[in-house]
Amino acid sequence: MFGRIGRFAVLRPWVTISAWLVAAVALAALAPQLKSTSDQAEFLPSHYESVQAARAQERAFPQNEQPAAVAVFQRTDRKALTEADKAAVAKAAAGLQDKGLPKIKAVTSSPEAVSANGEIALAQVLASVKDPYDPELGESVEKLREEARSLLAGTDLTVGLTGAAASAVDAKEASGDTDAMIMSATLVLIVVLLLVIFRSPLIAILPVVVISLAFMVATGLISTAAELGGLKADASISAILIVVLFGVGTDYILFLLFRYREQLRGGQDPKQAMISAVALVGETITSAAAAVVVAFLALLLSTMGMLRAMGPSLAISVAVALVAGLTLVPAVFSLLGTKAFWPSKAWRKEPRNALAGSIGSVAAKRPGIVAGVTAAVLAVLAVGALGFQPKFDTDSSLPQDLESVTAMKDLQRGFAAGQTDPTAVFLEKRDGTALDPAQLEAFGAALKIEGVGQVSPARTGANGAVAQYSVVLEYRPTEDKALDLVAGPLRDAAHRAAPEGTRALVGGTSAVLGDISTAVSRDYTVVFPAAGLAIMLILGLLLRSVVAPLYLMASVALGFAATLGATVWVFQEGAGEQGLLFTLPVIVYLFVVAIGTDYNILMVSRLREEIGAGRAPREAVRRAVTASAPTITAAAIILAGTFGVLMLAKNSMLQQMGFAVAFGILLTAFIMALLLVPTLTSLLGHRAWWPGHRDTLPAAPGGAGAAPGTGTGTGGSAAGDGPRADDRSLV
Pick the range with the lowest mean pLDDT from 120-124, 585-589, 594-598, 638-642: 594-598
Candidates 435, 267, 250; CA nearest to 324 is: 250
Highest averaged pLDDT of the listed ranges 179-193, 203-217, 553-567, 579-593: 553-567
Task: Give the mean model confidence (pLDDT) for residues 24-49.
Answer: 69
Candidates 416, 415, 420; CA nearest to 395 is: 420
> In 580-651, which residue ranges form alpha helices assigned H by DSSP?
584-588, 595-612, 617-644
Residue 541: C-alpha distances to residues 157, 284, 287, 535, 688 (Å): 71, 11, 9, 10, 14
pLDDT confidence bin for 236, thresholds 50/70/90: low
Res 645 pLDDT > 80: no
Q: What integer pLDDT is reported at residue 280 of this predicted model? A: 85
Q: Which amino acid is at 551?
A: Y
Res 646 pLDDT > 50: yes
Let me know: does 586 contact 692? Beta carbons within 8 Å. no
Q: What residues does 472 pair with on adjacent strands?
A: 454
Rounded distance between C-alpha atoms, residue 572 and residue 393, angstroms: 15
Q: What integer pLDDT is reported at residue 396 of this predicted model? A: 62
pLDDT confidence bin for 640, thresholds 50/70/90: confident
pLDDT confidence bin for 237, thresholds 50/70/90: low
Task: Give the mean model confidence (pLDDT) for residues 3-14.
Answer: 86
Q: What is the pLDDT of residues 668-686, one digit of tens each?
A: 989 988 889 888 888 887 7
Q: Which amino acid is at 497?
A: A
Rounded distance between C-alpha atoms, residue 421 and residue 126, angstroms: 11
Question: Quick check: bond before 691 cis, omega within 30?
Answer: yes
Residues in the chain: 731
Q: What integer pLDDT is reported at residue 692 of this predicted model? A: 63
Q: What is the pLDDT of residues 702-720, one digit of tens each?
A: 333 333 333 333 333 333 3
Res 40 pLDDT > 60: no
Q: What is the pLDDT of residues 444-497, one digit of tens each?
A: 999 999 999 889 898 888 788 999 999 999 888 888 889 999 999 999 999 999
Rounded distance between C-alpha atoms, residue 26 and residue 455, angstroms: 57
Rounded distance between C-alpha atoms, residue 246 and residue 249, angstroms: 5
Task: State the average pLDDT for the chain.
Answer: 81
Torsion over CA: 80, 83, 89, 92 (sign): negative
Rounded distance between C-alpha atoms, residue 415 and residue 408, angstroms: 10
Task: Give the mean model confidence (pLDDT) for residues 358-372.
Answer: 83
Q: What integer pLDDT is reported at residue 697 of this predicted model? A: 40
Let me know: does 623 contact 727? Beta carbons within 8 Å. yes
Rounded distance between C-alpha atoms, residue 250 and residue 345, angstroms: 23
Res 644 pLDDT > 60: yes
Pick the range with the lowest mean pLDDT from 91-100, 156-165, 314-323, 416-425: 416-425
Q: What is the pLDDT of residues 368-413, one digit of tens each?
A: 898 899 999 999 999 999 989 888 766 666 667 788 888 888 888 8
Candidates 519, 523, 673, 679; CA nearest to 593 is: 673
pLDDT confidence bin for 210, thresholds 50/70/90: confident
User: In percent, how much of the chain has pLDDT > 70?
Assistant: 86
- Backbone torsions φ then ψ of 211, nearest 5 degrees: -70, -35
Which is higher by pLDDT, 72 or 249? 72
Res 519 pLDDT > 90: no
Q: What integer pLDDT is reported at residue 490 of this predicted model? A: 94
pLDDT confidence bin for 623, thresholds 50/70/90: confident
> In 432-546, which residue ranges form alpha helices assigned H by DSSP?
437-446, 480-485, 491-497, 509-543
Let me know: does 351 contact 729? Beta carbons within 8 Å. yes
Q: What integer pLDDT is reported at residue 380 of this predicted model? A: 93
